[in-house]
Amino acid sequence: MNKSQRQRIKRRIEAQLTCFERQARQGQLSRGDLLRSFRLRSALARVDSESFGRCLRCEQPLNFDLLQNHPERMICGECLNRS
């Protein structure tokens, strides 16, 4: 994944977290949203590392489109289906 792609994902994570923070202030954050916000914060902390965007099990690159929509994803579909 190149630097531009990482920056795009980073901006998207930050935008999602801003929405979650707004919902939290209004008391509208569900349990699922709260869990996703924790996972997004974790993804934001790792987005600049070399391992971000690679499957934790097989170390193959994750699909960029998938990461744009689910940046908290850490396991590829193939490994997920094998479990």
68-78: per-residue pLDDT in tens?
999 999 999 99
**pTM of the model as a whole:** 0.86
- At how many degrees (to 10) do helices 31-46 and 3-25 cross? 150
Residue 64, pLDDT score: 94
Distance between CA atoms of 53 and 41, rounded to whole angstroms? 15
Domains and CATH numbers, the chain: 3-82 (1.20.120.910)
Instruction: Please state, as a whole number, how many other Cβ atoms lie within 10 Å of the Cβ of residue 45.
Output: 11
Distance between CA atoms of 46 and 63, rounded to whole angstroms? 17
Residue 61, pLDDT score: 95
Residue 49, pLDDT score: 93
Distance between CA atoms of 80 and 83, rounded to whole angstroms? 6
Residue 18, pLDDT score: 96
User: What would the pLDDT profile of 6-65 be if each residue is shown by its tens digit?
Assistant: 999 999 999 999 999 999 999 998 999 999 999 999 999 999 998 899 999 999 999 999
